[in-house]
Structure 1
Amino acid sequence: MAFRRKRTINTEQRQCDICEQWFSAGGGFATHTRACAKRREKENNDTLLRANREHHSSGLQSSIATTDTPTRFDDILESGAEPTGGEDAYIPGDPTDQPILDTSSGIIAVLDDIHTDYHPASHRPAEQVAFEDFGLQDSDSHTPYDPVPWRPFPTRFDFEVADLALRCSMNRDQTNKLLKLLDMSHHGAKASMHNYDDMQKLWDAAADRTTRTITVPYKDEDRNFDVHYRPLWDWILGMVKDPHLAPQMEWDARHHYRYNGTTWDRFIDEPWTADSWWEAQSKINLHSVQGGLDAKPLCLIIYVDKNKLSSFGTAKGYPVIATIGNLSSDIRNGSGPGGGRVVGWLPVVEEESKNSRKTSFVDFKAVVWHQSAIKMFESIQLYCEVGCVVDCGDGICRLLYPILLALSADYEEQCAMCLIRGLRALHPCPKCMVGKDQLSWLSERWESRTPEDTARVIKEASEMGRKGDREDLLKQYSLRYGQNAFLSFINFNPYDAVSFDDLHFDDSGLWGAHLFPQLKKHMAKIGRNVEAEVDRRFKSFPRWRNLSHFDAVTTVTFNDGSKHRDISKMFLFAAEQVFTRSEDPAAYQLLKCTRAYLNVIMYAGLHVQTTETMRAGRKAVLVLLSYLSDYMDIPKIEELDDKSWEFIKLHYHAHLFDDIQRKGALRNFSTRPFEKKHGPIRVIYQRRTNFKNIAPQILNVTHQMDVSDLVWADIHAMEEYGRYLQEQLSIEVPNDVEELPSLGGGHFTIGSKLKAITFQQFGIEHSLPSDRFRIDLANFMSKSLIAHNIPLLDNRWIQYHTLDTITPFQYLKINYESYETWKLGTDYIRCNPSFQRHPRYDFILFSSEDGPVFGQLQNLFVCKIGEASYPVAYIQSYRVIHNTRRDRSDKDFGILRIKKDAKEFISVHSIIRGALVVSASSADRLEEERLVVDVLDSDMFLRIKKHWPSYTN
């Protein structure tokens, strides 16, 4: 063992439980422990995932059970009815490409192998790896550190004090009080800052922001607006040159394929695996003027959204947030280094009652928007055309071209970005020329908007003498007159960049503003008893991690898109018995539309999209359209029949899977990850501004926080590198020291251990016939050991006696390989008579000889046989009702119904994952039947598609 010098511990220091490093008191300890825990969790997950993949690839089984593994996606697709048009109906954008294979290499493809074709300009050869080796990265990257990462702060102590004041949103008086108390202290380090102004000078030295004034004429006066921003190129360079982010940066487009045993299925996840990146890399290398260097795309994702800062909405913010698409979505959508950053603040043009809604004033606001955007992005304009040679953080010199990959925004902002006229225009879509009366024609293809067509129309309009003639021409194309900021930059196409947004177009749009309100109207028409029953069902819904719980929904208004998403997933299962074909055929049909809608959002939200899931998703969109068309044809009372389904957010579904094909998974361009940025901005507004001229104040504080995050990242890297060097000098642990594996072998962890209890007492507490229970358990254990070639003690059948003990547990953490991402997923399952003052007995999906089976945990315990411990679950099993015996409503609503079967013992090793299951609505079925919530998450959605095809169509 290596000799370690005894350390004198300062009582004001704290030790990290993970890496055992010591920290002085302050904000750095909490930040470090979070980062350290995430790093440890990633290392553990990679180890578990590799072990899980090797376990499946070798055909080995756990000592007492089988497990369930993902399969290729073409086996998962349902075989239900085709949308209108039959099998040969046109499916937009259906990809059919195959990889470029070098048959001379002699490599033979094996089921689930991954093949990668890189862009030709990358000069990287194609790769083919086994599935179990794909996506696992080496976490032992140690980059030399900055020895003084807290600069320009004189000391680390200064930085930590300033960071504490920043994170706690201290104002001037509070900061001065803190520094005065530190000056009065006679112990420990001493701050060199003496007041608020000293601290701000240091932050200003670390930060860099710019304010420009633009002048825009309106009628007979010039109006001035301040544009506050951080030079975009400076921020980009800071990211690209960061040595800690460098290993995470991707520079080359690629196509990924997975072998299904016959053909190669392409799959898409991150932006560099999709089509836009490939096209951009081709374009910039074709026109690059820099010799000797390959051009690389620097892909930008820009989010813009005006939002309310005060409770009454009188104060508004207009932040511009940027992310770099070359980083993975987990980093890009996170809050640490590499995450989205506020890079600017657009002017808010206040409404004027005398000018509101006038075309001239709307045009004026559009000019302000685009003139401000030009100033904000001008630092990258030259590099978009000729590129910029940059020494990146990994030490490699690259020629970088900024590319606009995606614009993330709601519909109103997209109209502003594309400089079109909006909802009432002849062609209200920012992406195509669909007519305003054709928004529900989702199976049609419309001419795409292009920068070239816009430039031609604007040029023609500018040459017209009469303003009226110019307006008539522009109205034909639904364009506004003026310079579009994005068209001033090479490689910026706003019409392609604006993207489908699930938060505003689905959660708060098609569902929140259309389907859900219409369903509420139907419930009101049927009667209050229906509303009460739906609310009762929502209240009784089992609680599940990452799923909101509602006591009522029929009389409550929700403005949160995420809440609407959860309601949409639950509503079908709460209302499946209250809408009947006989009583209200229109409501019944609308609930079918809800099922079709759920299929659309589940396919759209997959983090890994394949050729087959994309095809299924496009078909699901057409099925939804067909169901809505049938609903519109059903006679209804006037108050229900006045609903128009010609709206822009329905039309956008025609672009949904095209956007995924071009930019990668939906989370690459959704506004959902950006929305969480508004909360901290509102806190800054409330606590750190004087409520006057707020833009520069907020931008200053958000940038200080960004700087703080980067400094902490450098500090942690310095500490990590120090530990790495120390480990290289230490003596290796002797190879005779054995690490004992956990009871679950990485597949599961059991917890909430109770005291050991006799079979007799256990039977009394759980109302079980103790003799029958212990005899059945003994038989189960004996048969299981024999089936897995584990010798019985003394070759005798296991017997338990009434005073023998077992150890109960109430908590189970299950790890499984996700069908969606092929990465590790985790469920937290409980069987507790009083969890948060309510009984909770979760459902599971477990493996059997007949395939996956649903069950409800009754008890969880560990049995000891000799020196070995065996985790066992006592469950109430449920079997899926056969398709031929399903109710028509279950088939129409795509509901998987299960029926109570026998109580039995199973090995905890056989549990695949948790399941969300709700009680059946009908009173006579309440005890015997349950409904499986297949839309709980993407993994469950795809598992149900595979094992029970066509049930949830």
Structure 2
Amino acid sequence: MARKTAKHPPNALPSCRHCGATIAAQGLKPHERFCKSNIERQKSRARSRQTRRSLNSLDGDVVPMDVEATSLPTFDSDLGGIPSAATNSESESDETGEIGPALPNVYLLSVPHPKNRKLLFSEIISLSHPKEASDIAEVEARRLENTLDAGRPWAPWNSLADFGYTESAVKGVLSKDIIDMQLKGLSGPWSNPGGSRITMKDYRDYKLYLAKARTLGVKFLNATVEADLWGEPKKYTFYYRDPWEWILSLVTDPGLARVSQWQSRRLYYCENGEMERYFHEPFTADRWHEVDSELPAANPLMHCWLPLHIWLDKSLVTSHVKMFPIVLRALWLPSEIRNASGNGGGVIIGFMIMVEDPGHSKNRTERQNYEFNQLKREIYQQVMEKLFETIWKKSWFGEPVRCGDDVVRNLYPGFLIESLNFEEAWSFTCCRANRAKHPCPRCLVSHEMLDCLHQFFPLRSSAAMRNVVERARCAPTAAQRDKLLMDHGLHDVPHFMWNIRFSDPYLSFIYDLLHFLEAGKWGHHLWLLTLDLLEKLGLLAEVTKRMAKFSRWRNLKHINDLATKDFTDGQTHLDILKCIVYILCEILPPKSTLIPCIRALLKCRMLLGLRVMTTSRQLVVQQCIEDYEKWCKRVSEDYDKNFKFPKQHYLIHALDDVRLKGVLRNGTTRTGEGIHQEVKQHYGQTNKRNTEAQNKQISIRDEDQEVVARTRLLIDDFFRRASQTAELSDASSDTDATNQEADVAQFKQGSARRVPKSRIPPANGENQWIFGSPLQYGDSRSYEDLHGGNNPIYRALDPRLREFLHSQFPDEYLTYEDTIMIEIFQCVYIAYQSKDDWTNAEDILRCNSNWYNSGPRYDCVLFNSDQPGVACARLRSLVRCQLPSGRVVDLAVVQNMKPNKWRPKTSWDGCVVFEEEVDLTFLLMDFVIRGALLAHAQGPSNSRRNFHYLVDVVDGDMFLRVLNAIGHVCN
């Protein structure tokens, strides 16, 4: 409502009808126009703030961009996609002036790329209030809605039973004789007449159906490359799949199209009005955003980049035979799909040629060795060029494709991530190896500066390295050519990726936590240094003994033979790294520089291994890298350790990789290690005679696995939809009707875990915990009489329990005569929201006097407390009480952990010590947050008290909780 004009005495200056200010007559109208627009602007900003608060009513649902402007803030392109203070909303509440309730205190905001906002949607996900069950069901129903053919998803097999047997035979890698014997038995004497639904009669039928099914997938092809070595032509044949045909099979798949990410987005963590950007999948990172900015806007086709992840590594399938698989993954698919082995997962796209050495390197001259190495790199690049021949033109001009969601898009394939160990990276990028003047495949760092982690060096690029090779080939002399190449750490070989748009072989090489940190800096350097030091001090046996007694934890390997076994896998090295600090701190001499150095490396590993990386977390990582460099210099001085090696240096590129490609788990080589096992299984079914025949037979078996995985996905998808609609196909004459009914029942939606049976049912099904492994049932007084004398946990249980329940629930009015029924449990499943990626996580905790005949196990928990810092307690028993009123209460009998200021000989940043109290107390399960791992500490000399270290590195969630409890440093 406009402000009324203020009354003023005669001969006074007129006043503005908007703000009431007195203005000269000649300037009144311009002032009123400005004042009106200014007031409207302020109102608009106020409405914008209230509109953003009203988004809470959406409660985490997806918000389309074409909804009414009253439910969305606008976006300012100059702010990089952050909501601006302007909106077209005009609605206000007549009574309160409020548009709606406030935004959640904590929520996630997803902002599309500016070029695609009209075609995409913005999304707000609340982290403060969980969604209602009906909302989740509705979203799931929309996600699964599709028009998938419900006739015969198992085609070309005659029946579902035929496919089921084929799937088990392929996965079990059964031999020809076993398959033939089983099928003849199932169709003959093993079954009653007409009793088996399997229509295949023998191995011949089995192979016939697989051959038909392989025509539906991407088949292997063969090609030949050649090069000259010392005047003699060399020809090599290799097997590969057409990558573009494989890409088409993914983008045209209706099931995969529902979960594909076609454009980049920027994500923000919002808390109390402040926004912080975060990264996880590749589409959230800067490199994809840069490519989208370079691609044309929709005209009307949407232009989409299809980033690829390439992995390759030699595998030793036997003690004498090596194979060299090349694996591709589709980065526009979610990590849960692309890193799995089913439809949409990583695929063996080909096999690299293993060039055999014609002799021994010692019998050749230096020049001959160089020429032989040059041949291997030329063959390497020729194979890659032939393999990706079908995509390089499409990377520049795109290819219109009708995708599985019936939308036509112009698709541009390219490479974003290369997962390689350093040995393979030097071959892949055509760079010189470890002893070169510039050994890094990413930048031009000199060999003398490999241990410098605070200085950045000129980066390699496709254009710059191509220019170097061209200049070297034009050099007047061989010496000048070699010098120019050596000064840039290159070989005289053009790279196949130079011709592929949006693909840089040097920038795509990602930091690998497995090879560079776990099995690299730790496994091959600091761990070996630690072992040598322990052996010199005669402490190796003591460390092995303490490691064997280390507290158990789910997903943490319990190592009993630390000193007697040579560990080669990265996961074991990581488990040792997580535990070793808590053992060495009391054994090594005081103020040892090795312990804080290991701790700094471990902090880098925990932060770089997070599933989500925020801006504040990146700042903490940078500080940890600086601390690690500082302690490495101290270790180098104290123990004469040389840290000038490429894996040490590459740590400076880790944060850039996160910013450009998403979190590092997107490119870890750990996801490709399973390929080696598959190749070994395939090789076991070949004739083992020659490489070319082996590759062909392995290719066929890999095609079998791919087509079985694809068919299984179609079948599962069909039955999942059938279970939701609760109806079957009208084809009642189908011989598989009964099979369909059984599978529909199998796929009905239900709880992820069946709640264990108990004599006292839980209060409700919405608790974050589930009790398991029931032990005893009875009333509190009889249980005390039976077990109180044998177990101090239950001594005087009844009066203590009544006192606790009266203090917590005074409205129950418990008397001594009232009967309290109790049930004792030995296991609890605790669900919680992870601080790592804000998704649901779970701990399984035990309180058992003899866990699997290996002695007592009493795990610990974190719980909410009014005291600052972290509050821990040890579970001694789990009790469910049923009060006379019918109320059911779940509680734990615990021993509290009291923080203690004592520290070991050598402390470290973030060291937390607890003293275990003797007295037992009760703790409501409502206050329990999650499980915790405590490692036993020797404590002060001549002390009988029980001391423990809090192990904050069991996972990313625990690390962040402890880090922020000590002092809030990152979201």
Q: Name the TM-score, length of structure 2 as normaliser.
A: 0.81
Q: How does 1:560-599 map to 2 (within 5 A)?
A: 560-581=569-590, 588-599=592-603
User: What residue number does 2:632 align with?
Assistant: 628
**Per-residue Cα deviation, 1:661-683 (whole angstroms, up to 9, x for no partner):** 11111111111111122222212
Distance 2:107 2:375 in 1: 56
One-letter amino acid of the structure 2 residue matched with residue 900 of structure 1? E
**2:323 is equivalent to residue 341 of structure 1:** no
SS at match of 2:789: helix
Mean Cα deviation higher: 900-909 or 716-725: 716-725
2:106 aligned residue (98, 112, 121): 112
1:911 Cα offset (Å) = 1.1
**Residue pair 1:774, 1:800 contacting (<8 A) in 2 also:** no
**2:836 is equivalent to residue 820 of structure 1:** yes
1:110 Cα offset (Å) = 5.0
Residues 181, 206 of structure 1: alpha-carbon distance in 2 compared, 3 angstrom cutoff: farther
User: What residue number does 1:676 align with?
Assistant: 674
2:951 aligned residue (905, 920, 933): 933
User: What residue number does 1:849 align with?
Assistant: 866
Q: Percent identity?
A: 26
Residues 743, 799 of structure 1: alpha-carbon distance in 2 compared, 3 angstrom cutoff: farther
User: What residue number does 1:292 align with?
Assistant: 300
Residues 275, 705 of structure 1: alpha-carbon distance in 2 compared, 3 angstrom cutoff: same
Distance 1:849 1:602 in 2: 28
Residues 125, 159 of structure 1: alpha-carbon distance in 2 compared, 3 angstrom cutoff: closer
1:126 Cα offset (Å) = 4.8
Residues 836, 888 of structure 1: alpha-carbon distance in 2 compared, 3 angstrom cutoff: closer
Distance 1:797 1:868 in 2: 15
Mean Cα deviation higher: 199-208 or 454-463: 199-208
User: What residue number does 1:89 align with?
Assistant: none
Residues 926, 607 of structure 1: alpha-carbon distance in 2 compared, 3 angstrom cutoff: farther
**Per-residue Cα deviation, 1:177-224 (whole angstroms, up to 9, x for no partner):** 333334435433353564345355335434411011111211111111
1:114 Cα offset (Å) = 2.6
User: What residue number does 2:546 align with?
Assistant: 537
One-letter amino acid of the structure 1 residue matched with residue 180 of structure 2? N
2:85 aligned residue (87, 99, 103): 103
Residues 796, 420 of structure 1: alpha-carbon distance in 2 compared, 3 angstrom cutoff: closer
1:918 aligned residue (916, 929, 935): 935
Distance 2:771 2:594 in 1: 43
**Residue pair 2:420, 2:512 contacting (<8 A) in 1 also:** yes
**Residue pair 2:952, 2:958 contacting (<8 A) in 1 also:** yes
User: What residue number does 1:609 align with?
Assistant: 613
User: What residue number does 2:664 align with?
Assistant: 666
**Residue pair 1:144, 1:718 contacting (<8 A) in 2 also:** no
One-letter amino acid of the structure 2 residue matched with residue 761 of structure 1? L
2:777 aligned residue (733, 739, 756): 756
2:442 aligned residue (409, 413, 431): 431
One-letter amino acid of the structure 2 residue matched with residue 104 of structure 1? A
**Residue pair 1:216, 1:224 contacting (<8 A) in 2 also:** yes
1:411 Cα offset (Å) = 0.7
One-letter amino acid of the structure 1 residue matched with residue 583 of structure 2? A
2:385 aligned residue (374, 381, 393): 374
Distance 1:200 1:193 in 2: 14
User: What residue number does 2:177 align with?
Assistant: 173
**Residue pair 1:421, 1:480 contacting (<8 A) in 2 also:** yes
1:950 Cα offset (Å) = 9.0
Residues 110, 808 of structure 1: alpha-carbon distance in 2 compared, 3 angstrom cutoff: closer
2:212 aligned residue (202, 207, 216): 202
Distance 1:926 1:520 in 2: 31
Distance 1:857 1:701 in 2: 51
1:154 Cα offset (Å) = 4.3
Mean Cα deviation higher: 343-352 or 131-140: 131-140
Residues 917, 233 of structure 1: alpha-carbon distance in 2 compared, 3 angstrom cutoff: same
Residues 467, 554 of structure 1: alpha-carbon distance in 2 compared, 3 angstrom cutoff: same
1:395 Cα offset (Å) = 1.3
Residues 930, 951 of structure 1: alpha-carbon distance in 2 compared, 3 angstrom cutoff: farther
1:492 Cα offset (Å) = 1.3
**Per-residue Cα deviation, 1:423-477 (whole angstroms, up to 9, x for no partner):** 1111000000000110011100100000111111111122235333322221111
Residues 623, 291 of structure 1: alpha-carbon distance in 2 compared, 3 angstrom cutoff: same
1:888 Cα offset (Å) = 6.7
**2:886 is equivalent to residue 904 of structure 1:** no
Residues 768, 275 of structure 1: alpha-carbon distance in 2 compared, 3 angstrom cutoff: closer
SS at match of 1:296: strand
One-letter amino acid of the structure 2 residue matched with residue 365 of structure 1? K
Q: Name the TM-score, length of structure 1 as normaliser.
A: 0.82
Residues 416, 833 of structure 1: alpha-carbon distance in 2 compared, 3 angstrom cutoff: same
**Residue pair 1:807, 1:863 contacting (<8 A) in 2 also:** yes
Distance 2:505 2:763 in 1: 53
One-letter amino acid of the structure 1 residue matched with residue 874 of structure 2? Q
Residues 926, 698 of structure 1: alpha-carbon distance in 2 compared, 3 angstrom cutoff: farther
1:401 aligned residue (368, 393, 412): 412
**Per-residue Cα deviation, 1:576-633 (whole angstroms, up to 9, x for no partner):** 100122xxx5xx1011101101110011011011000011011101110011112222
Residues 153, 691 of structure 1: alpha-carbon distance in 2 compared, 3 angstrom cutoff: farther
Mean Cα deviation higher: 135-144 or 774-783: 135-144
One-letter amino acid of the structure 2 residue matched with residue 121 of structure 1? K
Distance 2:461 2:859 in 1: 53
Tell me, which stretches of 5 or more residues in structure 1 are unaligned?
1-53, 59-95, 635-639, 734-738
**2:560 is equivalent to residue 551 of structure 1:** yes
Mean Cα deviation higher: 755-764 or 648-657: 755-764
1:301 aligned residue (305, 309, 312): 309
Q: How does 1:146-545 map to 2 (within 5 A)?
A: 146=149, 147-184=151-188, 186-187=193-194, 188-192=196-200, 194-196=202-204, 198-199=208-209, 201-207=211-217, 208-285=219-296, 291-310=299-318, 312=319, 314-355=320-361, 358-527=369-538, 530-545=539-554
Distance 1:937 1:416 in 2: 35
1:849 Cα offset (Å) = 2.8
SS at match of 1:113: strand
User: What residue number does 1:44 align with?
Assistant: none
Q: How does 1:786-935 map to 2 (within 5 A)?
A: 786=810, 791-792=811-812, 795-797=813-815, 806-837=822-853, 838-850=855-867, 852-866=870-884, 867-881=886-900, 885-887=901-903, 889=905, 891-892=907-908, 894-901=910-917, 902-922=919-939, 924=942, 927-935=945-953
Mean Cα deviation higher: 393-402 or 682-691: 682-691
One-letter amino acid of the structure 1 residue matched with residue 776 of structure 2? K
1:368 Cα offset (Å) = 1.1
Distance 1:431 1:944 in 2: 35
Residues 532, 921 of structure 1: alpha-carbon distance in 2 compared, 3 angstrom cutoff: farther
Distance 1:849 1:857 in 2: 20
Residues 226, 935 of structure 1: alpha-carbon distance in 2 compared, 3 angstrom cutoff: same
State how many pairs are aligned: 824
**Per-residue Cα deviation, 1:853-911 (whole angstroms, up to 9, x for no partner):** 21111111111112122112111110222xxx343746435321111234211112211
One-letter amino acid of the structure 2 residue matched with residue 341 of structure 1? V
Mean Cα deviation higher: 252-261 or 506-515: 252-261
Distance 1:879 1:149 in 2: 60
Mean Cα deviation higher: 604-613 or 921-930: 921-930
Distance 1:265 1:832 in 2: 44
One-letter amino acid of the structure 1 residue matched with residue 842 of structure 2? T
**Residue pair 2:612, 2:836 contacting (<8 A) in 1 also:** yes
**Per-residue Cα deviation, 1:34-75 (whole angstroms, up to 9, x for no partner):** xxxxxxxxxxxxxxxxxxxx99x99xxxxxxxxxxxxxxxxx
**Residue pair 2:127, 2:838 contacting (<8 A) in 1 also:** no
Distance 1:768 1:496 in 2: 60
Higher relative contact order (CA 8 A, sep 6+): 1
One-letter amino acid of the structure 2 residue matched with residue 163 of structure 1? E
Mean Cα deviation higher: 137-146 or 375-384: 137-146
1:131 Cα offset (Å) = 3.4
SS at match of 1:184: coil
SS at match of 2:449: coil
**Per-residue Cα deviation, 1:337-381 (whole angstroms, up to 9, x for no partner):** 222111111111223443478221111111111111111111212
